[in-house]
Amino acid sequence: MVTKAVANSMLFLRIVTLAASAASVALLFTNKVRFDDGTQLRFQDFYAFRYEAVVGIIGGAYCILQLPFAIYYSVQQKRLIRNGCLPEFDFFGDKVICVLLGTGVGVGFGVSLEFKKFFDDLFDSAGVLKSDPTRKAYDRFFVRGIVASAILLAACLSMIIKKLSIEEERRKEKKASAQTFTM
């Protein structure tokens, strides 16, 4: 049995993960720039940004699925489904989501930073000023990609903290049950 504070913190961390995943996806979906000639650069033009968006959607969907159970657990301090299935689903599901969110963060940061540096170097070698509208558009696009990745990182860290707290509680429960068994 966990304390009320631990149950509430687990609920809070799920909500943070959901909010950060949703914010990251929203930022990616709205990340588009239009150039002077009418062409656009959108997040869909990069497979890495598509992957990051899908990972954010999966992370958010998982949190939405788990939210009613987390609310019940926080209020009642017991599991809604008590057959052992839900704790195992939490345990392994959280691990999978942590890994997915981590890969999404890595991909997003990687493509954003690499392309931003590439275009900055390209514009610098061509003698294009930093105030040029095309250069500003590319900068704005990739900076928004970096920000979306940072927000997804917050979701990932929130899920990792939640995961570690669950493992700590499971360890304490096993230790307590082992002590009562030996007495």
Mean pLDDT of 56-85: 89
C-alpha angle 176-92-81 in degrees, rounded to nearest 5: 65
Q: Is the pLDDT of residue 183 over 90?
A: no
Mean pLDDT of 15-28: 98
Mean pLDDT of 52-58: 98
The per-residue b/e assignment along 98-113, b for 16 or more CB within 10 angstroms, e otherwise, is: bebbbebbbbbbebbe
pLDDT of residue 82: 75
pLDDT of residue 176: 73
Above pLDDT 90, what percent of the chain? 69
Q: Which long-range contacts (CB under 8 A, 24 or more apart) does 44-50 make?
A: 46/111, 46/115, 48/107, 48/108, 48/110, 48/111, 49/108, 49/111, 49/145
pLDDT of residue 124: 95
Look up the pTM and report it: 0.88
Work out the pLDDT band at 1, boundaries 50, 70, 90: low
Mean pLDDT of 89-115: 94
pLDDT of residue 136: 95
Mean pLDDT of 117-145: 95
| Least confident piece of the model among 3-7, 48-52, 83-87 | 83-87
Which residues have a Cβ under 8 Å from the Cβ of 114 and sit 6 or more positions away?
Answer: none
